[in-house]
Amino acid sequence: MNPLAEQLKAMGLRFVATQLDDLMALATKKRWGPTEILEHVVTLEAQDRARRSLERRLSRSKLGRFKPIADYDWSWPKRIDRDGIEAALRLEFLERAGNLVLVAPQGLGKTMIAKNIAHKAIQAGHSVLFVTAAQMLLDLAGQDSARALDRRLRHYQRYALLVVDEIGYLSYDNRNADLFFQVVSRRYEQKSLVLTTNLAFSDWPTVFPNATCTTALIDRLVHHADVIAIEGESYRRREAEADKKSRRRAKPAAA
């Protein structure tokens, strides 16, 4: 690396430093003046920093793989608020620090929708964390001191959008109910939550049995929240039945 590239790297212009030879060749070919060269340097560096920032947010989000919303079969559910979901994909609730709750039986795509919303938020420049309720509560309950617990609570508080998936599939004791309440309270009216659940709020006492904070928890969640219910049969069950029929048709042909 030549001295100029080293200086650019030391100044934090790492991408331009690696592209210096190509940049100078292009500037010579197009006979750019100093202003044009500087404008191109700024453009290159800005694009690279935006790319790296997006990659960091994606990595930290723990979002994993998911199907794009374009693959969602809107005609399959018996009931779905498509306008409400498309508004959520435009991040309208995020702008007002509101919450979004997706209520649906298993297999109707609520996690897929939540992940697409999270991805839109990442693309828009927001910090996002995707976590299941079980993972989050296991993490918080495993802290061995008040200081460690506060540090982890601040971790779940700092993201612009926190997506908590699969509430309702497991039951939790009072300790876990209190921890979940603390997460919700710390984000209340400050930062947004997206939650997916297979249970109506009236059934949440089965998730946190005997917890005194359940009513207060629901109250904070639904205040400034859009609650979208999806009804119908499971996509996965439909796909499994279609695969079974396909295999049955293939057997005579193979024979």
Per-residue pLDDT of the chain (255 residues; tens, 9 = 90+): 588 889 888 888 888 899 999 999 999 999 999 999 999 999 999 999 999 999 999 999 999 999 999 999 999 999 999 999 999 999 999 999 999 999 999 999 999 999 999 999 999 999 999 999 999 999 999 999 999 999 999 999 999 999 999 999 999 999 999 999 999 999 999 999 999 999 999 999 899 887 788 889 999 999 999 999 999 998 766 666 656 666 666 666 555
Residue 142 placed within a domain: yes
Residue 247 placed within a domain: no
d(CA 46, CA 245) in angstroms, rounded, equals 52
Give the pLDDT score at 246: 63
Give the pLDDT score at 127: 97
Say whether both 80 and 12 belong to one domain.
no
| Terminal CA-CA length for the chain | 65
Say whether both 83 and 202 belong to one domain.
yes
Give the pLDDT score at 242: 59
Owning domain of residue 8: 3-60
User: Is residue 128 within 8 Å of 161, Cβ to Cβ?
Assistant: yes
Give the pLDDT score at 210: 77
Give the pLDDT score at 116: 98
d(CA 146, CA 152) in angstroms, rounded, equals 10
Looking at the whole model, is its pTM more than 0.75? yes
Residue 218 placed within a domain: yes
Query: How many structural domains is the chain composed of?
Result: 2
Give the pLDDT score at 211: 74
Say whether both 28 and 109 belong to one domain.
no
Say whether both 124 and 169 belong to one domain.
yes
Output the DSSP codes for 10-70: HTT-HHHHHTHHHHHHHHHHHT--HHHHHHHHHHHHHHHHHHHHHHHHHHHHT------GG
Say whether both 172 and 233 belong to one domain.
yes
Say whether both 166 and 41 belong to one domain.
no
Give the pLDDT score at 11: 86
Residue 171 placed within a domain: yes
Tell me which residue has tokens 């359940």: 214
Say whether both 40 and 135 belong to one domain.
no
Say whether both 87 and 164 belong to one domain.
yes
Give the pLDDT score at 112: 97
